[in-house]
Amino acid sequence: MSDAPKPIASTDVPWTDWKDVPNFGIRYRHLTLAGSGENYHVGVSIEELPPGMQTAPAHYHIFEEEHVYMLEGTVTLRLGPDRHTMKAGDYVCFPAGQMAGHCLINESGAPARYVIIGENNPNEVAVYTDTSKVLVRALGNRAIFDMAALRTYWQGENTGFPPGQFPPGEASLDKIKAAAAQKPKPPVFAADIPWFDQDGPPGFNGRGKHFTQKAVGENYNVGVMIESPHPGQRMAPRHYHMLEEEQALILEGEITLLLDGGVSHVMRPGDYVCFPAGLKVGHSFLNSGTGPASYLMIGEHSAADVCVYPDSNKLAVNALRERESVFDKGAVRGYWDGERSG
């Protein structure tokens, strides 16, 4: 169990200040980097935005999905042409490829804190909508180009055409501008998200809120939800995922993380843990207190995932697209079993 994830307290992660220019500035605690190093699929940070500051230039991502969950204070979300006020418990998802610039501005008189969640794609392309710039991360973290400086595919090449004659196919931003005119997914507010009840067998009861499904439907890369098991209860058996990374941030109460081999860790508000995809360590969360407890659960959403339940020796195969796609892991068969040999 030496490779089993261990929770960390967010308060033990030092703040990092980011402020290159006067109008933009935040400080943040990168929980995933501190908890599991640089090899992660999804980054989770707590950010603090001071009064009068903006997080980043308005932008959108082509490949990376982003999420914001408000912890305290008030911010103004710029999303395309619209502005939304967000407060504690509110949530927004920016789907990958949604061509609407977004950023947060603190127009209040007090600091605001929120959880920022984003995929980690080394080939990301990001567009800055106010200034028509594009970042191509594969060329470098600050490889930013002027989107108006368009060139055609054959421009500058020795094509063999005589002087004054050009190949077809002029570059245009019309398609990008048309896509950017589409209505983006707005934030969802805490009061508008109903709780769902989980009435499982004894030991597995509680309630939850699925923010991402409410905000964007079923088509998302990363799911963000609150799980709140009743005292003495869990929401899921011990399990691990082969393709999906999972992360949890405690919001309220006392939660005990149960790992394989009888290992356990008591977690309290602000504590965080990451379970890398493919790490074969079963985990589950128990409300070990006497009152309400809840945590933010963050998990990748892969149609090809395989989930293993070590306590019952079962596995679930998402790729079969069937509700009852749970199998006995002990019912092993050989590759040629049941085939006709002749």
Give per-residue pLDDT as tens, 67-79.
999 999 999 999 9
The span from the CA of 94 to the CA of 265, in Å, is 33
pLDDT tens sequence across 88-108: 999 999 999 999 999 999 999
> Is 80 exceeded by the pLDDT of residue 113?
yes
Mean pLDDT of the 258-265 span? 96
Q: What pLDDT shows up at residue 131?
A: 95
The tokens describing 230, both together, are 């009743």
Q: Which amino acid is at 207?
A: R
Q: Which of 320, 252, 264, 255 lies closest to 4, judged by CA?
A: 264
Q: Phi first, then psi: what are they for 18, rounded to 5°?
A: -130, 115
Q: What pLDDT shows up at residue 166?
A: 79
Q: Which of 61-65, 153-157, 252-256, 316-320 has the lowest mean pLDDT?
A: 153-157
CATH numbers and ranges of domains, the chain: 8-180 (2.60.120.10), 195-302 (2.60.120.10)
The span from the CA of 140 to the CA of 137, in Å, is 5
pLDDT band of residue 150 (cuts 50, 70, 90) is confident
pLDDT band of residue 159 (cuts 50, 70, 90) is confident
The span from the CA of 10 to the CA of 306, in Å, is 30
Q: Which of 168-182, 198-212, 269-283 has the lowest mean pLDDT?
A: 168-182
> Is 90 exceeded by the pLDDT of residue 151?
no
- CA angle 323-91-254, nearest 5°? 75
H or E, element range at 175: helix 174-180
Q: What pLDDT shows up at residue 179?
A: 64
Express as a percent the part of the chain with pLDDT over 90: 84
Phi-psi region of 129 (alpha: psi -120 to 50; beta: other; left: phi over 0): alpha
Mean pLDDT (the chain) is 94
Radius of gyration from C-alpha coordinates of the chain: 23
Q: Which of 23-32, 100-109, 165-174 has the lowest mean pLDDT?
A: 165-174
pLDDT band of residue 137 (cuts 50, 70, 90) is very high
Q: Which amino acid is at 165?
A: Q
Find out whether 101 and 130 touch, Cβ atoms under 8 Å.
yes
Q: What pLDDT shows up at residue 130?
A: 94
H or E, element range at 180: helix 174-180
> Is 80 exceeded by the pLDDT of residue 182?
no
The span from the CA of 35 to the CA of 281, in Å, is 16
Q: What pLDDT shows up at residue 180?
A: 66
Q: What pLDDT shows up at residue 171?
A: 65
pLDDT band of residue 2 (cuts 50, 70, 90) is low
> Is 70 exceeded by the pLDDT of residue 65?
yes
pTM for the model: 0.94
> Is 80 exceeded by the pLDDT of residue 176?
no
